[in-house]
Structure 1
Amino acid sequence: MNETDLPTAVEIEKMIWGDESWNLGFFYDFFNDPLSSCWILENTNSAQPIVGYGLQSLLHNESSITNLALHPSQWGRGLGGLLLRHMIKHARLTCAVRMSLEVSTSNERALKLYFNHGFRISKLLPKYYGSSDGYSMILQL
């Protein structure tokens, strides 16, 4: 990802999360953090070349997935798995021993993706997303 991709990532974020989405300032801060990695998924044959993005950070020996999102028109095509596998590979290359993330208990599509890639629920996070609960999930690398 480069800095010019950030506004498109924010657009995708807003399509998915609406008023609860992260703003451009958050993305710039994350992009400029030396312990963070920002990824995009591109389809150069599309009018919308950036179809998804992932944000992850490394602290000590744990890689944390901060966000993984796809343009809604790309859901159900296996692209989330492609991006997640890239993020897992990057975590291994940076010597992380585990990965962590948080996900809404109602986000069935994301839960299926994470379970299929070996993540397990480590704890319930009551009211983590305002009125809805979340799960903390872990993948041992």
Structure 2
Amino acid sequence: MTGPVTPVLREMRWWDIDPVLALERELFPEDAWSRGMFWSELAHARGPGATRRYVVAELPQDGGGRIVGYAGLASSGEQADVQTIAVAHDHWGTGLGGRLLTELLRAATAFECAEVMLECRVDNVRAQKLYERFGFEPVGVRRGYYQPGNVDALVMRLTVPENSVQGTDIHG
């Protein structure tokens, strides 16, 4: 008998947009990103002037497996912003969110960012606890940020120490 299969992290590519969109709509039905938003982000994720890093978590299977998570980061100067982190419901509690966040922090280090910012729904305690474990601290609230529902966003910041996140790069 084999244990649970560990998802493989790799660079998100254009052919991942449809399965990522399906997961996005399942997890965030009221404020899901559009296909165009993902295309726009990926357009800035490759080449010498890249300012984005997007990764997917894929279950390894013959011919490609199911995407069970994804994450993205945007950088601008010395600041990076976590754009999104999502994990399929059946992979909650497996550490996948932490693995995705670790990859984004590696990217922030590679982009030479001094700080990483993010917004999180004030009612998403699970995500807040993840971010706090990585050293993010609350720095403010954006009233009515998430629509519909007029839900506030907790703004969190992490100051990135030099050479803080070590590890191997993911190649896609």
TM-score class, shorter: over 0.9
Asked if the contact 1:100/1:138 (under 8 Å) is kept, the reply is yes
1:48 Cα deviation (Å)? 4.9
1:19 Cα deviation (Å)? 3.1
1:100 Cα deviation (Å)? 0.5
TM-score (norm. length: structure 1)? 0.94
1:70 Cα deviation (Å)? 0.9
1:43 and 2:59 aligned: yes
Asked if the contact 2:59/2:66 (under 8 Å) is kept, the reply is yes
Structure 1 Cα separation of the partners of residues 109 and 21 of structure 2? 27
Asked if the contact 1:15/1:72 (under 8 Å) is kept, the reply is no
Q: Which runs of 5+ in 2 are unaligned?
A: 1-11, 45-49, 161-172
AA aligned to 2:96 is L
1:53 Cα deviation (Å)? 0.5
Match of 2:140 in 1: 123
Match of 1:17 in 2: 28
Structure 2 Cα separation of the partners of residues 45 and 75 of structure 1? 20
AA aligned to 1:125 is R
AA aligned to 1:78 is G
Q: More helix per residue: 1 or 2? A: 1
**Deviation sequence 1:50-101 (CA, Å, 0-9, x none):** 1111111110011110001011111111100011011111111221111000
**Alignment counterpart, residue 106 of structure 2, candidates 70, 86, 89:** 89
**Alignment counterpart, residue 54 of structure 1, candidates 71, 86, 95:** 71
Between structure 1 and structure 2, the one with the greater Rg is 2
Structure 2 Cα separation of the partners of residues 35 and 88 of structure 1? 14
Structure 2 Cα separation of the partners of residues 112 and 119 of structure 1? 9
Q: Which moved more, 1:76-85 or 1:44-53?
A: 44-53
Structure 2 Cα separation of the partners of residues 38 and 121 of structure 1? 24
Query: Sequence identity, in percent?
Result: 26
AA aligned to 1:73 is D
AA aligned to 1:127 is G
Structure 2 Cα separation of the partners of residues 15 and 127 of structure 1? 22
**Alignment counterpart, residue 99 of structure 1, candidates 116, 135, 154:** 116
Q: Please state whether the residue corresponding to 1:58 is helix, strand or coil.
A: strand
The runs of 4+ residues in structure 1 deviating greater than 3 Å are 45-48
AA aligned to 2:156 is M
TM-score (norm. length: structure 2)? 0.78
Q: Which runs of 5+ in 1 are unaligned?
A: none
Structure 2 Cα separation of the partners of residues 139 and 45 of structure 1? 35
RMSD: 1.5
Structure 2 Cα separation of the partners of residues 11 and 110 of structure 1? 21
